[in-house]
């Protein structure tokens, strides 16, 4: 199929882009990498009246370190994130996640912020934004605001973004040195959307886990941090018994649905298996820090 008609705006600046969105009467769309939006337009699942192409806006394609945070502009492509040496060194859990993002050709075009805005419950970037306590920088003609990722996702493919707003940047935590991490994903074929995935970071001090973060995707309407599991593991030694408890708590905390790829029960089981592996990896990788 082909896209329905739309007015095309090649935005020259963020201000130009959001003016065009505001003028679209509520059904404008931002076109960045287009790797999710264009298929939906080709299927006519989405028929924007105005398509605002942000690809030529200067300055949005940067990755910048700000103290213990890292910022990715709205035009940072998956390939840039996957190949960035700062991320590979200081945010290895994100570097590991990027290897699972679609295929290399899709990574040449798709953007991190675009994937977050698309909010697919089985895509890596929304989950990683939760794991790394991301903040989104949002602009509209009415001004600018920031929103934590945990308040951004409101449902499957649904976000808190208003029709005249665009995300200009996402800022995420750089975990402290020595932080252990684990990332486990299972998909039917490499690069496919995940059936389930689990990402973990934790610090290890005095033989105990601290600041445990655990995020899941593919097992609910939205990616999620599982606070109950994190709390269970806070201050704990991650031995076999505690991992069993964590896996049970995780399976109790999620509400996966079945589809033609996997039943709900299978996804629940799988998420537990992946969580056990990710937690073990994080525990093993964590450098022992002074208490």
Partner 1 sequence: MSARAEITVTVNGLTHTRAVDPRLLLSDFLRHELGLTGTHVGCEHGVCGACTILLDGRSARSCLMLAVQADGAAIDTVEGLGSMEALGRVQQAFRDHHALQCGFCTPGFLMTITDMLRHHALESDAQIREALSGNICRCTGYEHIVNAVRELARERGPLK
Looking at beta carbons only, is 56 or 150 nearer to partner 1?
A: 56
- In Å, how far are 39, 138, 148, 165, 167 from 145, measured between CA atoms? 30, 5, 10, 10, 10
d(CA 122, CA 114): 14
Site stretch for partner 1 (CB under 8 A), options 28-36, 114-122, 142-150, 221-229: 28-36
Is 168 a binder of partner 1 (CB under 8 A)? Answer: no
14 CB neighbour count, 10 Å cutoff: 19
Is 43 a binder of partner 1 (CB under 8 A)? Answer: yes
CB 190 to partner 1: min, Å: 5
Looking at beta carbons only, is 92 or 191 nearer to partner 1?
A: 191
Alpha-carbon torsion, ordered 30, 165, 60, 198, to 10 deg:
-80
Instruction: Indicate which single residue of 16, 19, 53, 264 sits in contact with partner 1 (rule: CB under 8 A).
Output: 53
d(CA 194, CA 201): 20
Site stretch for partner 1 (CB under 8 A), options 104-112, 121-129, 195-203, 246-254: 104-112
CB 59 to partner 1: min, Å: 18
Instruction: Indicate which single residue of 190, 239, 240, 291 sits in contact with partner 1 (rule: CB under 8 A).
Output: 190
Is 58 a binder of partner 1 (CB under 8 A)? Answer: no
C-alpha atoms less than 13 angstroms from C-alpha of 169 in its C-beta half-sphere: 20
> Per CB under 8 A, which of residues 196..255 are in contact with partner 1?
none
Is 8 a binder of partner 1 (CB under 8 A)? Answer: yes
Provide the β-strand partners of residue 197. 185, 217
Please name the residue ranges forming H helices in the chain.
14-22, 37-42, 78-83, 85-90, 92-98, 104-109, 112-118, 124-131, 149-152, 227-233, 240-253, 264-285
Residues that bind partner 1 (CB under 8 A): 1-10, 31, 34-35, 38-39, 42-43, 50-51, 53, 55, 79, 102-106, 108-109, 189-191
């Amino acid at each position: 199929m082909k896209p329905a008609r739309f007015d095309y705006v090649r935005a020259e600046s963020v201000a130009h882009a959001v003016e065009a969105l505001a003028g679209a009467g509520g059904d404008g769309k931002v076109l960045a990498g287009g790797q999710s939006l264009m298929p939906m337009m080709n299927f006519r699942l989405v028929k924007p009246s105005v398509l605002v192409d942000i690809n030529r806006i200067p300055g949005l394609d940067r990755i910048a370190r700000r103290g213990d945070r890292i910022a990715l502009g709205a035009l940072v492509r998956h390939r840039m994130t996957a190949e960035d040496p700062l991320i590979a060194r200081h945010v290895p859990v994100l570097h590991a996640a990027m290897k699972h993002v679609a295929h290399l050709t899709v990574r040449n075009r798709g953007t991190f912020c675009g994937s977050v805005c698309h909010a697919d419950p089985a895509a890596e970037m929304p989950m990683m934004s939760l794991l790394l306590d991301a903040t989104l920088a949002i602009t509209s003609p009415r001004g600018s605001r920031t929103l934590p990722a945990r308040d951004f996702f409101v449902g499957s493919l649904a976000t808190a973004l208003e029709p005249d707003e665009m995300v200009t940047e996402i800022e995420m935590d750089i975990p402290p040195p020595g932080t252990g991490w684990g990332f486990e994903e299972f998909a039917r074929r490499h690069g496919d959307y995940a059936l389930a995935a689990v990402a973990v970071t934790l610090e290890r001090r005095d033989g105990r886990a601290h600041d445990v973060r655990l995020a899941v995707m593919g097992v609910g309407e939205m990616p999620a941090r599982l606070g109950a599991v994190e709390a269970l593991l806070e201050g704990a030694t991650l031995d076999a018994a505690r991992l069993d408890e964590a896996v049970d708590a995780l399976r109790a905390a999620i509400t996966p649905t079945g589809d033609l790829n996997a039943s709900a029960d299978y996804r629940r089981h799988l998420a537990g298996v992946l969580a056990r592996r990710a937690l073990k990896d994080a525990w093993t990788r964590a450098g022992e820090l002074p208490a």
